[in-house]
Structure 1
């Protein structure tokens, strides 16, 4: 049989994008978006390279010039991009980092201890999206120059991107450096409007904000902004010798009088993660060292301002360092409130995160090697190990502050503010008209037991259907309240394979699930109306938990099938065992079966480590503390989940009918026939 021209698919239909073509084909993947934010991100990538030189102690000044022709120039007095020839590629260092993706000095070598750049994509992506890109490097006693037109090296015969361009590879030495002239790099680029939306432009205020924030974070570097307007040049200088202490005062709302002095947390901590070595081979439990610097204070107002940074890069959505700070402030201040006489009345609930951080202004900055982010734009830090590092340092500082005789009175004033915020919140809880998205039961309030998330965006949100109220406590402490919601379920829901829709909706737990999802049931189910992007079934790792998961999967398959068809239903995989080694550098491993646990114990003992025995087994989610539950079951960066799929609808329907249907005889016959497959050693007696 011969395929038609329309259906034939062969090797010639495959596309290989070489060099920087991938960036131009999908610019949003590399710079986040193609609107004004993307244009601003181009500037961020270039200035961050100069900042990395300052952080490493090689640059003291960074000058940014916004030219009248729309071009941007960034000059620093650092070491200069390496100009020597790269042995493998045969290109100069400058040409290599500007024309090859994933090339640079920030992959764990000796060039930088910590840096904002990680993937060798930033500067080359800017080059790819620019009409003209000029670089001047002062290094090794010489001044080198190279230009690019849409990523191709060459020479322009005049100023601006419209000048005649002649392709030519290699650096040009234009002169010798003068006596006393400092080394450094100067970069100037004209972005190519063809790759951006109409009207997309660089926002001078965003540039100003970026330089100011970075000057706070790198107090040893002076940043200068020069803006060319009507033949004149306006110049602003940003330099803050007290670093993030100055930044807290700057960020505090106008008129917000301080209730406390500014607390400064500085320290180091270690964490372990899986990481690739210099050959790209993945290594387990690689020890990393992180430097933490946090400043915060409370004011008389009610606004909360918390800014997060990693290696001077602003993380707009926070991340794991913010999570450690939040947990530390809640835990330490809840304990301080409980210990202070006369603050809480009998049976009063302890304050929550919103109460603790009401009126707080904080800056969180961590420096670490090879941080992990959720995207190339680095909006959210995802390195899991940094959470405990930050949490430990902040808890220790807050405890010392609340107990030291010199600061005890100040701390008590803050604690009183926190308790009062908690009381106001509880008093207003019944009166607030919470903005709710449309629900399945129009006009009805959400179930009281729903612990909702704050985000209004569906794509990122997650709803955990949690087995039992006992697990809810740990899950509530562990979750990210911004995008993770919890709905506890009591017992086992009705088996809908045996019941009609009317009977199913009479079941309180099923009615709650339908109501919270807000998309209806059966033929009227509309997945576009779902209030959450993903639904995750979180049950104990035992027989009852498996039965609960099966009942829930049956419910979705029968009355909300598009959730499965669209790949939005998942089952969490909580571990069974926690293997801990003794000693100073104790190691923790989680396992999911008895055999896996025995294998891990044998592996650790063979390595000369002493395992704490007997190895504890989790009898349920409720036995895990918040950190354990977060790390193993809820953290998107470290958890294991199974996506429930429906590849063969007929086979799935037959399996559901066999296992959950009304006819008992076929199920009994199947159980008898399958008895030999059971591992009797794994059965709890």
Structure 2
């Protein structure tokens, strides 16, 4: 038989385990009146909890180094049988009560050998109520103890000791105290056998023992106590079934068993020994409870591995008792994990500026078995689902941060690649989480944007026809006033924008949606944005940019074109996006000749020069030519005639003949990379004629 791993964690308990070592704290009366207080419920869960109490007593003996096999049998008559090879319950007289040890254990609450008397360094049964509670809630319980070369027996009916005359709980019963000697065994043979019938006066009619849960618990225990064999037999069916469990690999093997995905790392074993001082009430020589500072040993043993998946599998135990709701040991483990990864990533280039790591990123794809062993842990309730001992969180975190940190920073050839892979996995989990959150926020903003009412600054048109409707995006409040009077409100709508909108080629989707001007444009067009853009839902047949004919106006048109190309490209591809071309100059003729208009407009400096030469050559007199610095300098009639009235205006249509080339051009002119843009500007400067510069 190979030695169990827990042998390193415990000093050898004393074999001097007699009735004088049992400490009695109180009686049994309340259990039957309020059973749920002790076992959680009176349904299947409570029924199974009673079984766990008896099994845990046997496992505690194995943990202490006594016994290598436990048999658990579900019998056909509804009873349960549990046998171990431990030291056997004491059969001598306990001096304070005058009762034999077996009767003390099974009839007195808070009576047992686990109250700091040196018989158990660590134990799952801590409150001294497990066996007595099971006895109180059983219609019959039989105990046999191999000890001192003899087989000792005792029976109980609903907690009362006595003798049954026959089999089963309904046999005639006579109350009496004391053990019966029913046989002999070899001098070194010890052990305890318990058979009990759950009381159907207490448990609900539908409460049944669950074989799958029992098998799962037995398998789990075999992982937690390497070298211990557990045999589960079910005799309730037509044919008895038996399953055997024994795992010498311990919790490392348990972690491999629990994992469901391919590994990123091997199983990492984290072990440590810490100590702390705890103030507890102790019985003095006079039987009085006295607060005493006690030095506690805490043994930490954790098996953890990461896989390629996303699920988190975490099992936690205190002295091999499962804590499904966690507690201070799990809090410390997760805190130590996060600190270890933050420290490990600090020396790498995996984390970029702005990246952050939280606990969920570290836990993703993790399988872990967290076990701690300490004397007299503080559980929250008899069901022991949550560990409450406060110092455990801090000490476990220290052990995990130190040991896992050493793995993450390891230079060993076998560990370094795995450490790198798991850190990359954590960083990717962080970025995925952030991206998912941003996407969710964007969808919320986008949905709110698309479903909300139109902005009040929109001056909409009356026409129900999308094909004839036009939206002018106008820069500046001064131009808006003139454009409002110049437009045909039947089919021309106006949306003013304030200054230059956001450069969306550099900005994120979230920043674009936060920008008031961009949001207003998307909202007014009414067809969504990005991949969800629906051309058929657009509210206007034409989108027309109308800005001043200067460099600022050109910049505004470029920004608007970038917005439409990136987030509403189908409008551009369909040829429905235009740029208005306002005039730069106006000639007012004096006594114009027949066939000539009183006003002549030119749209560029070369055109102005040509028109000036032409009028001079013809001898046509004119006033000083007017140069428009902005749309606001025109009156409504002039703006309508030159820029807005379909009969006289000039529009430039934005088209995309080569989408890839257009994408590259937008990225060069409006993107984050400065180098290509600088090169483009420098090359263009050499091609510019100095005479064209308006200085």
Is residue 142 from structure 1 mapped to residue 142 from structure 2 by the alignment? no
Shift in alpha-carbon separation, 1:179–1:111, aligned structure 2, 3 A:
closer
1:154-193 map, 5 Å: 154-178=162-186, 182-193=189-200
**Does the 8 Å CA contact 2:35/2:42 hold for their aligned counterparts?**
yes
- Match of 1:573? none
Whole-Å Cα distance in 2 between the matches of residues 336 and 393 of structure 1? 15
- Match of 2:545? none
**Does the 8 Å CA contact 2:331/2:393 hold for their aligned counterparts?**
yes
Number of equivalent positions: 411
SS state of the match for residue 296, structure 1? Answer: strand
Whole-Å Cα distance in 1 between the matches of residues 281 and 265 of structure 2? 44
Q: TM-score, normalised by structure 1?
A: 0.59
Is residue 119 from structure 1 mapped to residue 124 from structure 2 by the alignment? no
Whole-Å Cα distance in 2 between the matches of residues 305 and 374 of structure 1? 23
Which ranges of structure 2 fall in alignment gaps of 5 or more residues?
1-25, 442-695
1:133-532 map, 5 Å: 133-178=141-186, 182-253=189-260, 256-279=261-284, 281-283=289-291, 285-341=293-349, 343-348=350-355, 350-406=356-412, 407-431=415-439
1:42-61 map, 5 Å: 42-61=50-69
CA displacement 1:265-288 (0-9 Å, x = unmatched): 122101122212233545365321
Whole-Å Cα distance in 2 between the matches of residues 287 and 293 of structure 1? 20
Whole-Å Cα distance in 2 between the matches of residues 100 and 208 of structure 1? 30
Q: 1:103 aligns with which of 94, 111, 118?
A: 111
Whole-Å Cα distance in 2 between the matches of residues 271 and 230 of structure 1? 51
- Match of 1:475? none
Whole-Å Cα distance in 1 between the matches of residues 431 and 317 of structure 2? 32
**Does the 8 Å CA contact 1:328/1:392 hold for their aligned counterparts?**
yes
Whole-Å Cα distance in 2 between the matches of residues 200 and 365 of structure 1? 31
Whole-Å Cα distance in 1 between the matches of residues 185 and 129 of structure 2? 30
- Match of 1:87? 95
- Match of 1:443? none
Shift in alpha-carbon separation, 1:200–1:229, aligned structure 2, 3 A:
closer
- Match of 2:576? none
Whole-Å Cα distance in 2 between the matches of residues 19 and 368 of structure 1? 27
Whole-Å Cα distance in 2 between the matches of residues 82 and 110 of structure 1? 15
- Match of 2:583? none
Is residue 72 from structure 1 mapped to residue 80 from structure 2 by the alignment? yes
Whole-Å Cα distance in 2 between the matches of residues 384 and 285 of structure 1? 15
Shift in alpha-carbon separation, 1:179–1:57, aligned structure 2, 3 A:
closer
Residue 229 of structure 1 deviates from its aligned partner by: 3.8
Whole-Å Cα distance in 2 between the matches of residues 196 and 397 of structure 1? 47
**Does the 8 Å CA contact 1:54/1:220 hold for their aligned counterparts?**
no
Residue 177 of structure 1 deviates from its aligned partner by: 1.2
SS state of the match for residue 43, structure 1? Answer: helix
Whole-Å Cα distance in 2 between the matches of residues 130 and 149 of structure 1? 7
**Does the 8 Å CA contact 2:282/2:292 hold for their aligned counterparts?**
no
Shift in alpha-carbon separation, 1:21–1:432, aligned structure 2, 3 A:
farther
- Match of 2:481? none
Whole-Å Cα distance in 1 between the matches of residues 101 and 205 of structure 2? 35
Shift in alpha-carbon separation, 1:100–1:269, aligned structure 2, 3 A:
same
- Match of 1:471? none
Shift in alpha-carbon separation, 1:235–1:318, aligned structure 2, 3 A:
same
**Does the 8 Å CA contact 2:110/2:129 hold for their aligned counterparts?**
yes
**Does the 8 Å CA contact 1:79/1:139 hold for their aligned counterparts?**
yes
SS state of the match for residue 33, structure 1? Answer: coil
Whole-Å Cα distance in 2 between the matches of residues 84 and 110 of structure 1? 18
1:476-625 map, 5 Å: none
SS state of the match for residue 194, structure 1? Answer: coil
Whole-Å Cα distance in 1 between the matches of residues 73 and 122 of structure 2? 26
SS state of the match for residue 232, structure 2? Answer: strand
Whole-Å Cα distance in 2 between the matches of residues 230 and 305 of structure 1? 34
- Match of 1:478? none
Whole-Å Cα distance in 2 between the matches of residues 347 and 207 of structure 1? 49
Whole-Å Cα distance in 1 between the matches of residues 29 and 201 of structure 2? 14
CA displacement 1:368-407 (0-9 Å, x = unmatched): 0110011111000000111122111111111111122121
- Match of 2:137? 129
Considering only aligned residues, what root-mean-square deviation do their CA atoms show, in Å? 1.6
**Does the 8 Å CA contact 2:84/2:191 hold for their aligned counterparts?**
yes
SS state of the match for residue 146, structure 2? Answer: strand
Look at both structures and tell me which one has the larger radius of gyration over its CA atoms: 2
Whole-Å Cα distance in 1 between the matches of residues 400 and 283 of structure 2? 34
Residue 119 of structure 1 deviates from its aligned partner by: 1.4
Q: TM-score, normalised by structure 2?
A: 0.58
Residue 236 of structure 1 deviates from its aligned partner by: 0.9
Moved over 4 A (4+): 430-433
Whole-Å Cα distance in 2 between the matches of residues 121 and 229 of structure 1? 29
Whole-Å Cα distance in 2 between the matches of residues 83 and 102 of structure 1? 18
Whole-Å Cα distance in 2 between the matches of residues 377 and 315 of structure 1? 9
- Match of 2:492? none
Whole-Å Cα distance in 1 between the matches of residues 373 and 139 of structure 2? 34
Which ranges of structure 1 fall in alignment gaps of 5 or more residues?
1-17, 434-685
Whole-Å Cα distance in 2 between the matches of residues 432 and 284 of structure 1? 55
**Does the 8 Å CA contact 1:216/1:240 hold for their aligned counterparts?**
yes
Residue 20 of structure 1 deviates from its aligned partner by: 2.5
SS state of the match for residue 405, structure 2? Answer: helix
